[in-house]
Every structure is written in structure tokens, then in C-alpha cells.
Structure 1
Amino acid sequence: MKPRSKPVFQLLAGIVLIVCFSCHAQEDEAGKRPNLLFIFPDQLRNAAIGVNNEDPVHTPYMDQLAKEGMVINNAISNIPLCSPYRAMLMTGKLPYHNSVLSNCNSARYRYNNSWQKEDVSFSDILRRNGYDAGYVGKLHLTSPAPIPGIDSVIWDAYTPPEDRHGFNFWYSYGTFDQHHSPHYWVNNAPKDELKEVQEWSAKHEAEVIIDYIKNDENRNKDKPFALFWSVNPPHPPYPLVPAKYLKPYENKSNEELLVRENVRFGNTTEELARHPGGTRGRTDLAKEHAKDYFAMVTGVDAQIGRVLAALEEEGLSENTIVVVTSDHGEMMGSHGLMSKNVWFDEAINIPFIIRWPAKIKANQESDAFISVPDVMPTLLNLMGATDGIPRDLDGSDLSTQILENSPQLPDYALYYYIEAGQPASGHRGIKTSKATYVITYDKSGKKHHFLYDNVNDPFQMHNIAADDPDLAKLLHEKLLKALEEKKDPWLRKHQLSL
């Protein structure tokens, strides 16, 4: 941890400093549990938050949120891919324990690659503990059945009410990337009753959430609320962004926008070409659409600002936990790659800003690691919503450490690449503050090692696995031990052990 100011834990109501860590009954002075607003734009890399001083992007509202709370620098999307992230978030379990190994679509229906009814989930626990639970935006957790006679893959999917794990307010869809003309299933609407909208999805959803916050008919004022907002932008298609958000970038060159030292146009290196993740040979998209990507980030930031203002207007800011994070990042030309699903920081390092004025001191920063399965138990414990939390989670409760700004947090996070329907397939890796280490297997079964010095080579441009065998051995052992603790079937497949 590196606090921006001296760590203090202070109740605003109080003369006395009281923290009930043993019971985690995190209620404010009026005895009310906090609300939760969990915002996760799709494909928003950590570098693309202005306060981080990396990408030249304008995000004044997220920057202000960061100054008012805590920034966790090493939030890691363990599988930097939409559906696996969402399943880990909702279940607190790793993909080979929750069945969502890859992105949900009709080609994965045969694998039962969907949110499982039997997995007691984040929203189930919230409802059990008296919360009004809502979901707005992209879900992408249901693999729809193929349609006989149609060969094309179906991505969008209707999730029936009985499969929504307790969410009582629903304004959502599966996955549909027409940002200017989104559609939604609203509450108990049947599958054939889609609400179609002719407005930028981020703006429209912000208006839905503002209505929810202002206590329209969709929430119970007598209950605390927990609202999840999955914004599709800045996910491609990149050009689908209102023109006004392009203004800060329209006169910028690619050299002024794509400032990371590892950006390279053309082909990837041969060793990276063996990895099936990421998108190779399309860095022309970075040249063409860097402006659009950053403009979408700025546009989403503006909508977040509107929602935060509504919280303030309703007097809810003090006792509402606001989290801004993402499901994964975007390579945008780094290492000659686009998209995600690879181990580099541009893909796995996601924002994690948490603000709770009643309990979390402002202007704090942490270098600790938080993995996706940790989010559910951590937030539930912060909220005092602990009744019924499953004991078989892969994630850990980090609430006490966050509240204390304690250094006793995880010092690493795991990386996974898994093929659809094959829990033991793919690659595995580990990231620490000092290094990133990955084991991959090519099509012939040959093993390859990747090792990057994250201190002296922050853009991960040099694979030093052969040059530093001692460090490689150390991280190899740390990785295998962690995978063994998580009961990863990949170890058995490759007959790996300590």
C-alpha cells in the first residue's frame, strides 16, 4: 500500500473510533446499511483514466471520484474477456468452478457456458440481506440456443426472470454493440418485447439510473439499493460515439494519442503469434480509431458524472459505496495487438476506484492486488450483507484491509486463458508488482515461458525468461502453488507440481 495521506479510519458522526471488523456490520450512524453503485464500462483499461497520467484522456468525473476515495492500482481481470469476468464478479468463483469459461454465444450453448442457477450469486445475497437489487446494461452471461437452419453465431440473449438471481429491477440485454440504437428487456418483459432506443446507450442508461436513484417506481425507498451498471462503450465498434466527445482529440496525431512505448504497428513478434488471444494484424484499427476509443471513454465519464450528481442531489453520496472498474482493458496497438484476452497490462489491468465518504478516507492509493473473485465477498462484507455468503468461493474478503488501508493484502494475481468447454486448456500466469510470468503451450504441446520485469521494463517489452532463470523459477513455484490452492485442472493435464 502507498497511502496518499496518512491512513486514518474515522467515523464522521463520531467522537469515538469504532470499527466492528469481526462482524463486518458496516452500518452508518443512523443504522442504515450503505447503498452500492457498481459501474463497469466494457473494455476500459486502467491507463485510460486521466488521474493515472498514462493515456492522454479526459476523464474529469472519474478523476474527481478517485480523489474522493481510494484507487487500487493493481486490480486485475484474471481472464480479460467479457463473460468470464462477469461470471467471476457475480459468483466469486473462477471459470472452471462456475462454467463460464469463454464468451457466451450460441456456439458455446453445448458447453452450458452460462450463469448457473445453482451458483449462489452476488445479487442473491443482496436480496437475502434486504437490498433492492438492480441491473442496467450489458449482461452477457447467457449462451442462447442455436436456431436450427441458421449457421451464424448468435450473441445477444434473453435472460428470463427466473435466471436473474434475485435482481428485482432489470433494464438489460445480452450483448449488442449498436451503441447508437441499443435495446433492452425491461423487468418482466417477455422475450418478444424488446425496448428499442435511438440514443447513445451510455446516455440513455444514465437517465434510467438517475430515475432509479430519484426513487421512481422501480425501487423500494425503505430498502438500501445495490445497482450494477454495465456500460457497453468503450467496447467496439469504436466510431459509435457522439461527435461532441471527439473534440478534445480531433486535432491530435497518433503519436500524441498512442503514447505507450510498446505500441507497434504491423505484425506481432513470432513468440506472441503463438498465443490465440488478442487480435493480431489489425493495428490499423489503432491508427484509425484511437481518437474514437478515447472519445468514448470521455463520453462514458460524462454520464458517470451525471449519475454522481444525482446521488448528491438526493443526499445519498455519503453512505453510497461507488465503485468504477471494468471487465478488461484494450491493447490498442501495444505489442502489435488489439482487443484483449492476453496477459499484458493493457488487457488485464483494470481501474478500481472505490468511494464511500462515510467510511473510506479520501485521497488514498494502494498498490495491493485485487482479483475479480475477491470483489463479491469484499463488497458484501463492507455492506454488512453477510448472511448466506457461500463458503466455497475462490475470492477473499479484503474489506478490513481496504478500510484500514493495510499492507496485508494479496501481493499477486493470477492470469488465465481458457478455451471454450475445456477447463484444463490454455495458459496460466501470475503477476506481482515486480514481475509477470506466464506458461503457454503451443499446438504441438511445447511449453513456452514469458517473464517480464515490471519495475525496469514497465511496458513489458522484453521476455527475460531465459536471462533470469532464478526469478523464473521463483515465480514458477509461486504460480503452481497458487493454482494448486485454486484446484485448477490445468495442473493435472500438464502433470505440473511443485
Structure 2
Amino acid sequence: MRKNISRRSFVKSATVATAGAGIISSNLLSSCSKHEEKERPNVLFIFPDQYRKQSLGFLNNDPVRTPNIDKLAKNGVHFTDAVSNHPLCSPFRGMLFSGKYPLSNGVQSNCHSGRTKYGNFLKPDERCFSDVMKDSGYATGYLGKWHLDGPTPTKPGEPNIWDSYCPPGPHRHGFEFWYSYGTHNRHNHPYYWINDAKENEKTDVNQWSPEHEADVLIDYLENKDGNFRDDNKPFFMCWGINPPHTPFTEVPNRYKERFKDLTIDSVLNRPNVRKTQAPFYKETGFGDPGVEKKLSQAKDYFACVEGVDDQIGRVLEVLEKQGLKDNTIVIFCSDHGEMLGSQGLMHKNVWFKEAFEIPFIVSWPGKITPGTDNLLLSVPDIMPTFLSFLGLKDQIPAGIEGKDYSAVLRGEEFDRPKSAMYFFDKPEEEKEKRRGVKTHEYTYVVAYDKHSKKHIFLYDDINDPYQLTNIAGQKPEVEASLHEMLAQHLHNTKDYFISYI
């Protein structure tokens, strides 16, 4: 049974994707008058945390069943080569909403109290995707994990505080309906700050967070008595689901059941899985450790994936029942992937496919031609691409670094990017840093380890799809070309790292 949600004065708020054939012109969208705003498409943006591309069921890679996400892809466009330029929670969110890379928006790494003094948080005066949507007549809402604010700084040696209250006002960047928290990993017992709740007024919930948030989103879509949003406006709703982020074990038993009799060897079927720590980790510190202990939780990760798909399915069913499906663009992606033993590593932060590549699906049934597209889509490109496609090109903020690729959504010819940038940095760290580029054929990375030692990594992603062999030094012409691409990215983003390559 669905848990009842408090109805206390929820604040009311003051296109299209195709890989090959454009269906609706953005001029039609931009010509809407104030009275016709409701006819603009709704936008539902869903991004579970740490959901790797290989766990899209229809790709037949990981041993998961994701019928609801599969249906989105079947009826929409799957962007096969989308990446998370800095595969980490806060930096992804910073790039998504600002349209800028981490050095420009200030979110260089995950937000916590030890980094607040460096300005490692999304600034309230940054004009974001959601600010534009609100000012353009959308009812805006945010649900789930936010992780973009800087908790009060702690002194050196004190434990870092990760969660942070986001007060109403400019820190929320135009989001009016608010059912969120900064960051915590209490998946089975989450808490939220709801709309105008004060910092000491968080609401504890005894329910798996994706399930509870699906309940909230269903109420938002049904909008009984107009308590959640202004029905006379289209909505822009972002749902930041935390699972399958760690702890993987915090998932209802009903999702674990299907995997209980399977072995770890049978579910970890990628040839690059190592059950011992990556050999270069001890020397360099690159990547997340603990593979020997954490791989035992792999089945729970896949259980989380299937549970998330189940909850998304509940929401999509209500979207259809409420008559909203035909006028709602649904975007599904993730902030980064999960290594899950590949290369002998866990989690994220690295340039390998399992962490760096992300799912990206755009669906609007009846309005787009289903298919796939291999656009090298970077996170800062999302904001200008969709604002332009929604007819809001003139509202794209000045100074953004992402590119407008809305032409791909209209089926028009355009200059495709030849590469996408990989980024890793910490504001407090002088030594360890790295940059790289990915093309359709290669991954190239210049990395400095915890001892300030320089390393070069080059992978032939066509002939070595599991990135088993570093061929740096073996293809000098290829390496030189990729090096030049990286230098151009660094020049374009005014990145200090250009002096290190």
C-alpha cells in the first residue's frame, strides 16, 4: 500500500528526440503564446545514481531484466556513446544544470564539508537549466538526491559532513516543488526536506527510497486537488534516484530473490573482471579499492537495477493513465557507471567504459522515430541541446561550455563532435589529476598519480572493447592526434591542465 504523503501547501510553480527523422520543428514550440504554454511538452528527467550502461537489459550485457527501460529505448532514441565527463555524483549534476565543465562551475568533486572552503558547490547565482525552465513557464520539481550544496566547512582532521540542507530560494535554482535531500545512503530508511520545511523539519520514511519517490512522483502526476503543481503549465520534473548507488545490499528482498541461487562468476560475465585489486592501484591510487570484499555484493547491485526499473515502470504507467504520455518527453540517464570488478576496480572516477559511459535514452512515443545514435554526447551538452529543442534557444545562458546538438533531435545535418573529454580533479589535491579524450575508436588519458608521476593510457576500443591492453607508445600517430584533441579541449575550457600534458 502506498504511504500517504503530507499535503501541506505544496508550492505551485509561478523537443523531442530522433536519431534519423525530425518530426516536430522547434519553431512550432517557440511560437507558443503565454496561453499556449500548456501545449509545450512536459519533461520528465530520470537519473538513477551509479547505473551503468551495461545494465540496460536490452543490450544483453549484464544479467538484468529491465522491461520498462527497454520499452523507453524501443519507443525512443538510445544515444549509444554518451559519457559522464567526470564520472562522479556532484560533478555530473553540476555539469548537467550549469552547462559548464567542473573548473568553470566550481563543482570539481563530490560536495562535502571538507571541500566547501574551496567553493566546491553549485553557486546560487549560476543560471541553470531549471532556472530557465521555470522562467519560461514550466512548473518545476526536484525529487530525490541533490548533492550540489556545500555543508558548513569542518576543520582539518574532523570527519567530513556529506549531507546538506538546501534552503528555499536561489540555491534551488528555480525548482519549486521540492522533495529532496543533499546526499545520504539510507536507501531503506531515507529522509527528505519537503518544500518549505526548515532544516530541523526533515521527514523520515520507512520505505525503500526509489519506491517511496515513485509514490511521490505518482501523486505529482495525478496532482489531486492541484496540490503539487499548476495544471495550466507544462512540468519539468527531475528525479534523482539514489540506488543502485552503494550500499548495494539495501534493496528489498523481493528483488534479491531472482539472484539468490546464481554465483558471482555467472553474474560478472565481462572478460575484464578481476577478483583481486587492479595491479596499478597500489602504485598510482587510480580507482576505488576493495574489490575482494565488495564483489560479493554484485548480485545485490543487479537486484537494485531491477528494482529501479520496476519503480520507473510504475511511474510510466501512471503517466499513460493520466493522459500525459503523448505530451511528455522522458529522458533516462545516469550520473556515471559502476566498475563492479572490471579492471580489478570498484565504483567510478575512472576512464574505463564501465564508469565513463552512461545510458542516455530519450522517448516521446508517436513524436520521434525510434532508433540509435552514436553522438558523443557530453554532460554539458544536455542543457543547451534540450533548451534549444524546446524552442528556448534564445534563453541559453551566456558563457556555457556545452554545445547545442538539438539538430540531432530534429533529424538535421550538423557538425558532430569527434571526441568527448574525460576529467578528474579534486580542489584540495595538488598531485593527483587527470584528463583525457574518448573518440569512437580510442580512449586516451594523461594521468598524474598520488606521487605526481605522469602516466599515459591508450586503448583501442574497437579491437579491444574490454580495454584489456594499454597500447600507449605503440601507435605514435594516433597518440599525437588524440593529444592534440585533448589540448584543444583544454584550451576551449581554459583548463590549467594544458601545462601538464
Give me the TM-score of the superposition, normalised by structure 1: 0.92
Displacement of 1:423 = 9.2
- The corresponding residue for 1:61 is 68
Give, as a single letter, the amino acid of the residue that structure 1 aligns with 2:220: Y
- The corresponding residue for 1:225 is 235
Give, as a single letter, the amino acid of the residue that structure 1 aligns with 2:40: R
**What SS does structure 1 have at the residue aligned with 2:377?**
strand
**What SS does structure 2 have at the residue aligned with 1:283?**
helix
- The corresponding residue for 2:3 is none
Unaligned runs of 5+ in 2: 1-17
Of the three residues 422, 430, 443, the one matched with 1:436 is 443
Asked if the contact 1:424–1:489 (Cα under 8 Å) also holds between the matched residues in 2, the reply is no
Of the three residues 36, 40, 50, the one matched with 2:57 is 50
Q: Is 1:10 aligned to 2:23, yes or no?
A: yes
- The corresponding residue for 2:220 is 212
Q: How does 1:168-317 map to 2 (within 5 A)?
A: 168-216=176-224, 217-270=227-280, 272-286=281-295, 288-317=296-325
Asked if the contact 1:139–1:172 (Cα under 8 Å) also holds between the matched residues in 2, the reply is yes
Displacement of 1:384 = 2.1
Give, as a single letter, the amino acid of the residue that structure 2 aligns with 1:259: N
Q: How does 1:53-452 map to 2 (within 5 A)?
A: 53-146=60-153, 151-162=158-169, 163-216=171-224, 217-270=227-280, 272-286=281-295, 288-362=296-370, 364-404=371-411, 406=413, 408-421=415-428, 426-452=433-459
Matches of 1:405 and 1:324, distance apart in 2 = 23
Which structure features the higher share of helix residues? 2
TM-aligned CA distance change 1:147 to 1:476, over 3 Å: closer
Asked if the contact 1:125–1:387 (Cα under 8 Å) also holds between the matched residues in 2, the reply is no
- The corresponding residue for 2:30 is 25
Unaligned runs of 5+ in 1: 12-18
Give, as a single letter, the amino acid of the residue that structure 2 aligns with 1:25: S
Give, as a single letter, the amino acid of the residue that structure 2 aligns with 1:312: E
Matches of 2:339 and 2:184, distance apart in 1 = 21
Matches of 2:349 and 2:384, distance apart in 1 = 25
Displacement of 1:164 = 0.6
Identity %: 45
May I ask how many residue pairs the two structures share in their alignment?
A: 478
Give, as a single letter, the amino acid of the residue that structure 2 aligns with 1:341: N
Give me the TM-score of the superposition, normalised by structure 2: 0.91
Please tell me the root mean square deviation across aligned C-alpha atoms, in Å: 2.2
Matches of 1:53 and 1:266, distance apart in 2 = 25
Displacement of 1:125 = 0.2
Give, as a single letter, the amino acid of the residue that structure 2 aligns with 1:230: G
Matches of 1:101 and 1:227, distance apart in 2 = 25
Matches of 2:85 and 2:355, distance apart in 1 = 10
TM-aligned CA distance change 1:241 to 1:200, over 3 Å: same
- The corresponding residue for 2:462 is 455
Matches of 1:27 and 1:324, distance apart in 2 = 26
Matches of 1:429 and 1:483, distance apart in 2 = 10
Give, as a single letter, the amino acid of the residue that structure 2 aligns with 1:479: L
Cα deviation code 1:356-379 (max 9, x no counterpart)? 2353212x1011111000111111
Asked if the contact 1:424–1:490 (Cα under 8 Å) also holds between the matched residues in 2, the reply is no
Cα deviation code 1:15-51 (max 9, x no counterpart)? xxxx356x863879x7711110000000000001101
